[in-house]
Amino acid sequence: MFLIELTPDVANTIKIVWWIGIAVALIVTVIDVHLLIRVIKAARKIDDLADRTLPAAVGIVENTSALKNLTATNEVAAALIAGATPIVNVADAINKKLAAVSAFVGGGKK
């Protein structure tokens, strides 16, 4: 069977080393399966959390979509303020003239 004759001690040593190798391989396999199960559980949890987060993320996108128009709104507001400034100046002048007329007509009494 073999090219050389094995003594019973050598044959037993080979069997012991072989069984130790099988035992180590079994232990490593069990550890790897355990780690793989943990990774699969974590991936499922991440997928579940992503499913829960998606509607909120869509809502945030929809609720903040108007912010892109904020620059245009600021430009319009600045134009309105610029147009309102002369009106305010005229209103102040009218108010001062009315106060002067009131003081003249009322004799300075309030």
**CA–CA gap between residue 100 and residue 106 (Å, rounded):** 10
Nearest 10 degrees: Cα torsion 7, 10, 13, 17: -130
pLDDT at 50 over 60: yes
Tell me how far CA of residue 41 lies from CA of 13, 29, 50, 60, 93, in angstroms: 42, 18, 14, 29, 76
- pTM (two decimals): 0.49
Name the average pLDDT for the chain: 89
Report the SS3 class of residue 88.
helix
Q: What are phi and psi of 6, to 5 degrees?
A: -100, 135
Domain locations in the chain as residue ranges: 7-63, 69-110
pLDDT at 32: 98
pLDDT at 105: 86
Q: Which helix (H) or strand (E) holds 19?
A: helix 8-63
